[in-house]
Structure 1
């Protein structure tokens, strides 16, 4: 800016950069579109995988949109907003992360064409909001009811989530495991609503063996082993003690120095330490516990005494596992050994150490407390098991969401086509420039079936035309069967997804798009990394 005398007045620190007007909007849109384009090829069962290599050389191979965007080193602020969409989708539903990102990218691309025609961002934003609300109504009108007892439908939902993630050959087995696990932890809240707390399902994984060797354990699996080989490896009718304190010599808080001038003093000091340790062990034994899980360490001498007393003990247990054990066995987590009482102990039918693929794990089963289950995944290699883990996480979440909402929709791009057609009809009833924005929103919805077709090597124009024709004839379940390359009834093809996947994706993509469109001034601080030309900062990830 300049004063009346023509003298420039600087209000920003030296080195700051400012981009205004259409340049700012174009840069932001370009960056957001680039992120969406990066994950677009992973959409659907025929989607491709990405290999991500971090700075340490660790490799992740996945087609999970949330995992890809989480690992990419993105710096551009507008691009980060697309990543946030994916994170929100993952947190709320567990699946549909790629759908949300791709939809946001297409909404922005179509908004860009409207901006080029001279339509104000506020008008576009208003039209997009109207369209999003209408889209929610449309997708809810085609939803199908489902209940916790409808095992067949829930299995189809799980199978849809697992498909395309490297586990199709064992899809039936994994779907069954998922539905059994989720149904076992579902309960009603005070209002009578079904709640699926999927945190009560723990996934443990081991490379070695086949995916078909995966199993559901009714209880908690702890990825630890006994601290001493002389301890019993199997205890029935266990009395479980959970400690967040260490069974070790107590160290003083302040620095202290002890001067020892004779061997007798040294011997007395050692005996005193042992006496302190024996006192700790005595309190544990007197409590009646025969299984001890410690969140911290267990001294070597303490291990010997515990083994001598016939107690099975494990140390360095994760806090999340301690919480699960507490819920499953009804044991209280004790902060100090001095506070141990018999009332604090938990119980379970069986605690045993089992060996799997050369490593040992502790199984805590037949528990009386809050239902807690574990899924033990097996696979040929570490990368296979990691991909399987991500697929199962998605499947568990979507089945839980379907039970909570009791609504599902068919997949294969069918809902998006129905929304697009009905939105075009809605747009024709509007007057003013918002009509153009609603129409563009309708076009944007077609990016999902179009991408499914492209990723399957099919002609997207022909497929879209066939799908629209089928929907116009009244078949609202008509979607794309990517395996056969045909438009078919996706309900009969068992392709089902929770309603929340669609509603959340539409909401998140619309809100992020509107926020990016309303930015007309970008001020980059001199302390920040400079924004590269074209606004695609940080897109030099490992796969670009």
Structure 2
């Protein structure tokens, strides 16, 4: 038995160890960061992504790009996760998070080549991240919810470089008004993003977009004889259908004469009339029904002058209940005037060729709707993506009440402070902290590159301004020079920056600590999966691709 090899892994499994495993992972993570790097900043470019079905997405949102790219490599997936987390937590800074993670790994690779152990690098990175968050907190300024101008600047910064840039002034105002109208001020300020609906309609210009202080339901009234407009609407929100129930058991009715058929139909009609009468008796003059409304019931409702809509989405029903103060009614027998919601106006309007129902002047306008317009579907989608970022960022700023300047200024300031901090450390962690500070400079460097400026000149200029004590000096990519970002109203919520630091550091450290990759291969398909054919018999004896061997 001496010298007999021992197999502990399944045949066909692949194992990569040590330096090879590390460089393999770092290369994959760097490739992902490189893929989104050109989209960073106001002058960033867009990516066109075409999926297997031929659907096209045009975007420069880091999280969207990485989600749409079908990434296979496990380490690359970890960087995608960073972007995804950033998107879920704050809604902006997704590209920055991926780029910083890639750069941290790039710097770590240089240190590994200098024979510095990954555990020491990881420990240095953690120290640097703690210090970076501390510096960011010291740079933060306060913002009040009443300071609309500053909140609009935050929304504008989040939208800059996205598809909606030409109309960012209008859309930023809409985003700020939408968020401030749904703020819950019980104790700590919180914002439930679900209270803001976005309805996209192709047709018209982006400038035609507007904020509706109420709800828009993408449905029209069920009967043309119903009123198009109802003032002082008393709204019934029905979960149940206005139609006759089918029997639970199979029942047969034998009819032997036309009189019996007529009386059967009359009975059905009377039952429907009774159901509609319950709605009328409650005093409702508008009905939103989650399920169906039978034709005859539509006629009776129209006759009573009631405005009715059927098949409303469950999420819309819940928002209507919140906005109008009505209750969702499951059983029509139980309906009372107290269960009804109220709105000053319910009307049907035509938007982009389609009829939609507007519910405005609600008791509790804690639900608002943004109507987005645009020339084509891709335009509307890119505006929606930019607006989504603006809404989230304004929400975060109102919740935290802390801001930092943009344009790469916090990164340069943090990098300088980390250089000073590195000098106070002993041991090899000092090198890791130094590498971390250099990695953060990738943000201003990339901003300059994407704007066609010289990254080295710009970085030198930024550093010299910060060393002079101008902490808010950042890069104005339009003018191609270093200016005070705070005076130029280029601001971002503090949480966007701290989240980038934390998420990028954690994923870089996790990837660095991997020194062994064991990949199992998929098992070969059995005879059943191969259409019931014995292995090696693809309809022909092996080695006979339609020709005797050796006759190619």
1:368 and 2:363 matched? yes
Pairing 1:202-351 to 2, within 5 Å after superposition: 202-253=197-248, 256-258=250-252, 260=254, 262=256, 264=258, 267=262, 269-351=264-346
Does the CA contact (< 8 Å) of 2:160 and 2:168 recur in 1? yes
- What residue number does 1:136 align with? 133
Shift of 1:71: 1.4
CA 1:498–1:22: 2 relative to 1, 3 Å: same
Shift of 1:258: 2.2
CA distance in 2, matches of 1:11, 1:273: 74
CA distance in 2, matches of 1:275, 1:245: 19
- What residue number does 1:178 align with? 175
What is the TM-score with the length of structure 1 in the denominator? 0.92
CA 1:118–1:273: 2 relative to 1, 3 Å: farther
Pairing 1:83-98 to 2, within 5 Å after superposition: 83-98=80-95
Shift of 1:193: 1.9
Unaligned runs of 5+ in 1: 530-544
Pairing 1:489-528 to 2, within 5 Å after superposition: 489-527=484-522
CA distance in 2, matches of 1:339, 1:37: 61
Does the CA contact (< 8 Å) of 1:232 and 1:311 recur in 2? yes
Does the CA contact (< 8 Å) of 1:260 and 1:266 recur in 2? no
User: C-alpha offsets along residues 95-124 of structure 1, whole Å, 9 cap, x if unaligned?
Assistant: 111111111111111111212222222111
CA distance in 2, matches of 1:341, 1:10: 75
CA distance in 1, matches of 2:8, 2:361: 69
Does the CA contact (< 8 Å) of 1:416 and 1:445 recur in 2? yes
CA distance in 1, matches of 2:108, 2:511: 10
454, 457, 468: which one aligns with 1:459: 454
CA distance in 2, matches of 1:116, 1:243: 68
- What residue number does 2:533 align with? none
Shift of 1:350: 0.8
CA RMSD of aligned residues (A): 1.8
Shift of 1:336: 3.1
Does the CA contact (< 8 Å) of 2:14 and 2:518 recur in 1? yes
CA distance in 1, matches of 2:32, 2:292: 45
User: C-alpha offsets along residues 484-511 of structure 1, whole Å, 9 cap, x if unaligned?
Assistant: 1111111122111000100011101111
- What residue number does 2:414 align with? 419
33, 39, 51: which one aligns with 1:36: 33
Aligned length: 523
CA distance in 2, matches of 1:374, 1:234: 19
CA distance in 2, matches of 1:201, 1:207: 20
- What residue number does 2:548 align with? none
Pairing 1:21-170 to 2, within 5 Å after superposition: 21-170=18-167
SS in 1 for 2:362: coil
CA distance in 1, matches of 2:91, 2:505: 19
CA distance in 2, matches of 1:107, 1:187: 39
1:478 and 2:473 matched? yes
Shift of 1:269: 4.9
CA distance in 1, matches of 2:334, 2:19: 67
User: C-alpha offsets along residues 463-497 of structure 1, whole Å, 9 cap, x if unaligned?
Assistant: 11110011001111111110111111111221110
Larger mean CA deviation between 195-204 and 415-424 belongs to 195-204
Shift of 1:67: 1.4
Does the CA contact (< 8 Å) of 2:181 and 2:365 recur in 1? no
CA distance in 1, matches of 2:349, 2:102: 49
Does the CA contact (< 8 Å) of 2:63 and 2:95 recur in 1? yes
SS in 1 for 2:478: coil
Pairing 1:397-436 to 2, within 5 Å after superposition: 397-436=392-431
Larger mean CA deviation between 124-133 and 242-251 belongs to 242-251
CA distance in 1, matches of 2:523, 2:217: 44
CA 1:318–1:469: 2 relative to 1, 3 Å: same
CA distance in 2, matches of 1:26, 1:504: 26
- What residue number does 2:190 align with? 195
CA distance in 2, matches of 1:327, 1:527: 51
CA 1:511–1:278: 2 relative to 1, 3 Å: same
Does the CA contact (< 8 Å) of 1:62 and 1:68 recur in 2? yes
CA distance in 1, matches of 2:46, 2:363: 43
What is the TM-score with the length of structure 2 in the denominator? 0.91
- What residue number does 1:533 align with? none
- What residue number does 2:546 align with? none
Shift of 1:260: 3.8
CA distance in 1, matches of 2:523, 2:23: 20
- What residue number does 2:542 align with? none
Shift of 1:408: 0.5
